[in-house]
Copies of this chain bind each other. A is one copy, B any other.
Amino acid sequence: MAVSMDDDVPLILTLDESGSNTSAPNEELEREDLPNENGGSYDIVNDVSSPATGDYHSQQRSARHNWEMNYQEAAIYLQEGENNDKFFTHPKNAKALAAYLFVHNHLFYLMELITALLLLLLSLCEAPAVPILRLGIYIHATLELFALVVVVFELSMKMRWMGFYTYIRHKRTMVKTCVLLVQFVEAIVVLVRQTSHVRITRALRCIFLVDCRYCGAVRRNLRQIFQSLPPFIDILLLLLFFMVIFAILGFYLFSSNHSDPYFNTLENSLVNLFVLLTTSNFPDVMMPSYSRNPWSCVFFIVYLSIELYFIMNLLLAVVFDTFSDIEKRKFKSLLLHKRTAIQHAYRLLVSKQRPSGISFKQFEGLMRFYKPRMCARERYLTFKALNQSNTALVSLKDFYNFYEVVGLKWKAKRNREHWFDDLPRTAFLIFKGINILVKSRAFQYAMYTVVAVNGIWILIQTFMLQGGNFFPRDVPWSYIVFLTIYGVELLLKTTGLGPIEYLSSGWNLFDFSVTLFAFLGLLALAFNMEPFYFIVVLRPLQLLRLFKLKKRYRNVLDTMFELFPRMASLGLTLLIFYYSFAIVGMEFFSGVVYPNCCNTSTVADAYRWVNHTVGNKTVVEEGYYYLNNFDNILNSFVTLFELTVVNDWYIIMEGVTSQTSHWSRLYFMIFYIVTMVVMTIIVAFILEAFVFRMNYTRKNQGSEDDNGIVLEKEISKEEMASIIELYRRNYAASETAPLQKVIAQMDKYEQTSMLFLGRRSRTKSDLSMKMYEEEIQEWYEEHSRKEEYPWQDVFPSGNHMLSSGLRQRSQTVI
């Protein structure tokens, strides 16, 4: 007994415009509406043959319209939950919704990104520019103005979506607006004056990049850095305090030694102890006093032991501790935010007739907005995976798993074990043999041996080459032999496992690409294409395969790959800091260092460039350090990297200082402290991620191997038929095509049902879920105690989407 689901009426209605027709028709439409529980395969096709008067028809139409609005809003809530967008920016009316949809869209995101990148890249062309990229002032100022106009357009769309009051309360957007204004004024000034002025504000351009939707990870990193700052600064003060004490002490002890240039004034004493903290002037800073009195080394040893080996490590410890704590709190608030989002969405999807759950029809409507590309079969499988009670409706408790389930990729479970199972007998036996061979330990170890021999061979070969002709005209036979072996291995593995299975393993993919590179290198050698010779050099990478042998390496390398996205985002964060410092550096120090520039300073040697003529030979004595300059943005980046590595950075600092003023040192010291923060965070992050993973493996020893998350669901033929019926009635016939195919396949194999596997890789969030299992329950209880079914007071009239109650609460979420 199927009841028309079209007649269902949403329990609450959304968005102002549909506010008028809420309660009156609902009562009329109420009818008996029981979920039929016949063992999982339940009737989805609806009985639409119910009597329909003209009045009723129009009501039905408007109900359908209401549903569409609800679906869309629920999808928006779920997106907000997923992206950790705060609910107070939720669109409030139809106009805002249109703007919201315009803004949340990959095309728009891409536009944001490209504009931001354009603005950043402009500094390649603005004076001081990279020589070959130099553009006229007219051109780059016009480009800049154009990009800024695009940003204005983006911001106006955002304001339309958020509304004016929300907009001015959204800090990041406000900062962006201010920066935009400044940039605008400056760009116009440049155009009018037709000459560049000191534009340090260009350093703020990175905010456009940070605000991009695609740079969410960078924003999170920055937030984490700022959150770790207070304890960091505390310890930094301790560090600086000891530095001051030692500077005074050092000044009193060593300034009587006139051959000691490091401690002759208190300022020098301080600066040199700061540099000593980075160890980059050690032991030089000690030598003059050490040569006079051997016991003066005690001063330096005590200083380094306290500052470098104790307080610096304490700094790491404090940041690490804060970091792990923040990671946990972040996970908690994200989890609860998602939960709230799901509650909101659920509320919008429940019908007045059946308030205990979401039916497939409603779910389908939601997914049309949430994941438009998902096919009907996958939608139904997702619904089934959510629906753990196997009734017609998904309860709120089941719906809480939404985010875990929606990411699964569904595939029919194949009954064939190998790709060659369908081949004729003889072929099958051959391939089966190859398969067994390829999977055997002997084969694997043989390959490891070959790789090892190859590695040693390369090493010896390179060692024998002492200068001269590296790349012989004729390709060496060893190259061909090893490449042949790898080629055969590749062939055997591809045929034995099937190309799809072969390439689904990361390690095999690695083997494949290295072998491919080696082959390309062979071609380069054979056809004498010199620019590609570097490929030949990459051969030793093959040796990396040996690390598969040991479990710890596999672990480490897996962790490495898992960490990679976060590492990349941290790297990008560092680059953003680099960019700002590079701009400031260019504005102040561009052109100040050149060969033989710093002859009055203590580091003159490093900047020397002398062209002796000894006998009849020209000897060039080069200090090279003039290359570490701020003459254009690329040079600045390299110089800043050198400063990050901190060795001999004081040579760069002293060079610049000797050409400008004392105060330049501040720039370098601040840069050091900033990179120290970021680097400490990076170390803390690697530590945290690694230790977390180790603890996880220790906790879940032998419980399962890490193949990601897998779910199995069975669909019977009848269910399939009823979904098709549903789709045929409601949507275009084209959508039923993939479903028809499934049925056809079932018919082919004469099955009454089909098994599907949902698969996705394990994320950090899944690991955290398992690690904090017990605590999560507490969090939920605490959360629901605090909220007490939020919608009851949030939507008192069933009409206003955002009561002030919700607004306040959602601000507390992150």
Partner of A248, one of B256, B458, B533: B458
Taking A245-B541, A279-B645, A283-B628 as known contacts, 13 extra A-B pairs with beta carbons closer than 8 A to each other, sorted by chain A number, are: A235-B556, A252-B462, A252-B537, A264-B467, A266-B462, A267-B463, A282-B647, A283-B645, A284-B624, A294-B634, A308-B645, A310-B686, A687-B687
Asked if A547 is an interface residue, CB under 8 A from chain B, the answer is: yes
Q: CB within 8 A of A552: which of B234, B244, B294, B470?
A: B234
A313 touches B686 (CB 8 A): yes
Asked whether, in the complex, the Cβ of B691 is within 8 Å of the Cβ of A320, the reply is yes
Interface 9-residue window, one of A285-293, A660-668, A711-719, A776-784: A285-293
Q: Report B-chain residues with C-beta under 8 Å of the C-beta of A304.
A: 645
The answer for the CA separation of A305 and B564 in the assembled complex, in Å, is 13
Q: A290-B627, A537-B252 are contacts. A313–B279 as well, Cβ < 8 Å?
A: no
Interface residues of A in 498-549 (CB under 8 A from B): 533-534, 536-538, 540-541, 543-544, 547
Query: Which chain B positions have C-beta within 8 A of A310?
Result: 560, 567, 686
From known contacts A280-B647, A321-B694, infer whether A540 and B244 are also in contact, taking CB-CB under 8 Å.
yes
Query: What is the interface of chain A, defined by CB distance below 8 A to chain B?
Result: 231, 234-235, 238, 241, 244-245, 248-249, 251-253, 255-256, 259, 264-267, 279-284, 287-288, 290-291, 294, 297, 301, 304-305, 308-310, 313-314, 316-318, 320-321, 324-325, 458-459, 462-463, 465-467, 470, 533-534, 536-538, 540-541, 543-544, 547, 550, 552-553, 556, 560, 567, 571, 605, 620, 622, 624-625, 627-628, 634-635, 638, 641-642, 645-648, 679, 682-683, 686-687, 690-691, 694, 698
Are A314's CB and B690's CB within 8 A? Answer: yes
Taking a contact as CB atoms under 8 Å apart, the answer to whether A682 and B309 are in contact is yes
Contact B647 A265 (CB under 8 A): no
Min CB–CB distance A133 → chain B (angstroms): 13
Number of copies: 2
A266 touches B682 (CB 8 A): no
Task: Check B642 against A282 for contact (C-beta < 8 Å).
Answer: yes
Tell me if B252 and A470 are in contact (CB < 8 A): yes
| CB <8 Å contact, A552 and B231 | yes
Residue of B nearest to A544 (CB): B241
Query: Which residues of chain B come closer than 8 Å to A543, judged between CB atoms?
Result: 241, 245
Contact B552 A647 (CB under 8 A): no
Chain B residue contacts of A465, Cβ below 8 A: 266
Contacts of A288 in B (CB 8 A): 624
Contacts of A547 in B (CB 8 A): 238, 241
User: Measured between alpha carbons, how far is A238 from B265 in the docked complex, in Å?
Assistant: 47
Question: Which of A234, A245, A324, A628: most chain B CB closer than 10 A?
Answer: A245
Looking at the complex, which one of B234, B470, B536 makes contact with A550 (CB distance below 8 Å)? B234
Q: Which 3 pairs between the two chains have the least Cβ-Cβ distance?
A: A287-B624, A317-B690, A279-B647
Which residues of chain B are near A466, meaning CB under 8 Å? 265
Contacts of A462 in B (CB 8 A): 248, 251-252, 266
How far is A462 from B253 in the complex, measured between Cα atoms in Å? 12
Query: Are the C-beta atoms of A687 and B316 separated by less than 8 Å?
Result: yes
- In the complex, what residues of B have CB within 8 A of residue A567's CB? 310
- Rounded to whole Å, the gap between the CB of A507 and the closest CB of chain B is 16
Q: List 30 A-B contacts (CB under 8 A).
A: A234-B553, A234-B556, A235-B556, A238-B547, A241-B544, A248-B462, A249-B538, A249-B540, A251-B462, A252-B462, A252-B533, A253-B537, A255-B467, A259-B622, A265-B466, A266-B463, A282-B648, A287-B624, A288-B624, A291-B624, A291-B627, A301-B641, A305-B571, A310-B567, A314-B556, A316-B683, A317-B691, A318-B690, A324-B691, A325-B698
A239 to chain B, nearest CB (A): 11
A320 CB to closest chain B CB (Å) equals: 6
Partner of A537, one of B249, B325, B552: B249
Please give, as numbers and ranges, the residues of chain B lying within 8 Å of A324 by CB-CB distance.
691
Measured between alpha carbons, how far is A433 from B462 in the docked complex, in Å? 85
B556-A238 in contact (CB<8A): yes
Residues of the B chain whose Cβ atoms lie less than 8 Å from the Cβ of A552: 231, 234
For A282, A290, A698, which residue has the most chain B Cβ atoms within 10 angstroms?
A: A282
Q: How far is the CB of A631 from chain B (nearest CB, A)?
A: 11
Assess whether A248 is in contact with B281, with CB atoms less than 8 Å apart.
no
Tell which of B256, B538, B646, B679 touches A279, judged by Cβ atoms closer than 8 Å. Answer: B646
Residues of B with C-beta under 8 A to A467: 255, 264-265
CB distance from A517 to the nearest CB of B (A): 13
Nearest CB of chain B from residue A319's CB, rounded to whole Å: 10
Complex CA–CA separation, A463 to B624 (angstroms): 35
Nearest CB on B from A534, distance (A): 7
Across the interface, A622 reaches (CB within 8 A) one of B291, B309, B540, B648, namely B291
How far apart are the CA atoms of A134 and B372 in the complex, in Å?
A: 88
Given contacts A290-B627, A317-B687, A320-B691, contact A459 B244 (CB under 8 A): yes
Q: Is there an interface contact between A553 and B248, defined as CB atoms closer than 8 Å?
A: no
User: CA–CA, A682 to B686, complex, Å?
Assistant: 18
A269: nearest chain-B partner, CB-CB: B462
Chain B residue numbers with a CB within 8 Å of A628 are 283
Check A284 against B648 for contact (C-beta < 8 Å). Answer: yes
Report the separation of the CA atoms of residues A458 and B266 in the bound assembly, to the nearest whole angstrom: 12
Q: Measured between C-beta atoms, what is the minimum distance from A249 to chain B in Å?
A: 5
- Minimum CB–CB distance from A81 to chain B (whole Å) comes to 29
Residue in chain B with minimal CB distance to A642: B283
Q: CA separation between A571 and B459, bound complex, in Å?
A: 40
How far is B231's CA from A550's CA once the two chains are assembled, in angstroms?
A: 11
Instruction: Report whether B687 and A313 are in contact in the complex, using a CB–CB cutoff of 8 Å.
Output: yes
Interface hub of A305, A533, A687 (most chain B Cβ within 10 A): A687
Closest to A463 in B: B266
Report the nearest B residue to A638, measured CB to CB.
B297
Q: Write out the residue numbers on chain B whose beta carbons fall within 8 Å of the beta carbon of A690.
A: 314, 317-318, 321
**Closest B-chain residue to A308, C-beta based?**
B645
Q: Which residues of B contact A698 (CB under 8 A)?
A: 325
Chain B residues near A316: list those with CB within 8 A. Answer: 683, 687
Which residues of chain B are near A291, meaning CB under 8 Å? 622, 624, 627
Establish whether residues A647 and B647, one from each chain, have CB atoms under 8 Å apart when the complex forms: yes
Which residues from chain B contact A264 at a C-beta distance below 8 Å? 467
CB-CB < 8 A to A283: which residues of B?
628, 642, 645, 647-648
Please, how many angstroms separate the alpha-carbon atoms of A376 and B795 in the complex? 76
Chain B residues in 8 Å Cβ range of A318? 556, 690
Asked, given contacts A283-B642, A645-B304, A647-B647, whether A686 binds B317 with beta carbons under 8 Å apart, the answer is yes
Q: Specify which chain B residues have a CB less than 8 angstroms from the CB of A253 in the assembled complex.
A: 534, 537
Find the B residue at minimum CB distance from A235. Answer: B556
Question: Whole-angstrom distance from the CB of A286 to the nearest CB of chain B?
Answer: 8
User: Given the complex, which residues of B lie within 8 Å of A309, measured CB to CB?
Assistant: 679, 682
Least CB separation from A245: chain B residue: B540
CB-nearest residue of chain B relative to A286?
A: B642
Report yes or no: B287 in contact with A627, Cβ–Cβ below 8 A. Answer: yes
Inter-chain CA distance A320–B255, complex, in Å, is: 42
